[in-house]
Amino acid sequence: MNTQVLFNTSKRVIGFVNQKGGVGKTASTLSIGTGLALAGQKVLIIDGDPQGNLTMFFTADKAPGFYDFLRDLNDGTFSDTGKYILRDVRERLDIIPNQQRELRTLLHDSQIAEIAPRFIELLRELKTSYDWVLIDCSPSNGALERTLVSACDTVIVPLEFQVFSISGLSGLLDEIKVWGGETGRDISVEALIFTKTEKRINRMNEYREIFSNFRIPIFEVCKSESLPKSIETGRTIWESAPTGFAAADYYDIITHVFLGTDDE
């Protein structure tokens, strides 16, 4: 078997985005980021969410991170992006942590909007040091999320299937288009990931039909008992249940969306 990995260098910065909360943005960023690192890829995860869920998974230390990065850009004291990176939290995996719950009051939307172009430029420089840069966004749509999405090459939208998913998704896709347009960039949606699906009652064909107008590849990650437990105890799905359904679903996404693996 010759496994050829086809890289698309213009799609290295990928945001996990949905203004709806609790849909699996953090679990997906974490599972895919650590999965890519295990597959030999050099990965940077940016915790873009002031809730800091992803940071708490990797560290209890208050290392300088995302907030300090933005603050220093705002103050004019910024010198080097490397200062905000916590290296080797896992093999081949670095993070820019974020434990600043007060971020939105410490830095106002107008200040974030002002430093956005410089931040985006720095992120584009930074991506040359990594195979992938993944951004875990918060469940909001303020200047912070606008800036993060504008810095992405593409985004992935995790969501749970509900009656309101379709109207919510249309709104989100429109916003992403506008945000990208403001910085002259065309940010496409790489995939929809339906999370916490019931394997017993497979509804993927139904979802594909309902969401076919969006013309976006659709994936699922089934509901897993072990995933929330393992995250709580600081273990990835690859460490806690590597042979389970959820790991298989994330593996599928990694191979299809990220590595474009061609089995010949």
Task: Report in angstroms the alpha-carbon separations of 251 from 34, 36, 37, 93, 238.
Answer: 11, 9, 12, 17, 10
Q: Let me know how many helices (H) and strands (E) the chain has, helices first.
A: 11, 10
Size of the site for ligand ATP (CB under 6 A): 21
Stretch that binds ligand ATP, among 21-29, 103-111, 112-120, 181-189 (CB under 6 A): 21-29
Using the rule CB under 6 A, is 231 a contact of ligand ATP? yes
Note the helical H segments in 103-242. 103-106, 109-126, 143-150, 165-182, 204-210, 226-232, 237-240
From candidates 25, 36, 130, 259, binder to ligand ATP by CB under 6 A: 25
Question: Between residues 38 and 222, which has the closer beta carbon with respect to ligand ATP?
Answer: 222
Nearest approach in angstroms of CB 245 to ligand ATP is 9
Nearest approach in angstroms of CB 137 to ligand ATP is 8
Query: Residue 53 is which amino acid?
Result: N
Using the rule CB under 5 A, is 31 a contact of Mg ion? no
Site for ligand ATP in 162-201 (CB under 6 A): 195-196
From candidates 12, 13, 37, 49, binder to ligand ATP by CB under 6 A: 49
Angle in degrees, CA 127, 192, 25, rounded to 5: 65
Using the rule CB under 6 A, is 157 a contact of ligand ATP? no
Stretch that binds ligand ATP, among 64-72, 186-194, 209-217, 218-226 (CB under 6 A): 218-226
Q: Can you name the residues that pair with 181 across neighbouring β-strands?
A: none
In this structure, how many other beta carbons lie within 10 angstroms of the beta carbon of residue 194? Answer: 23
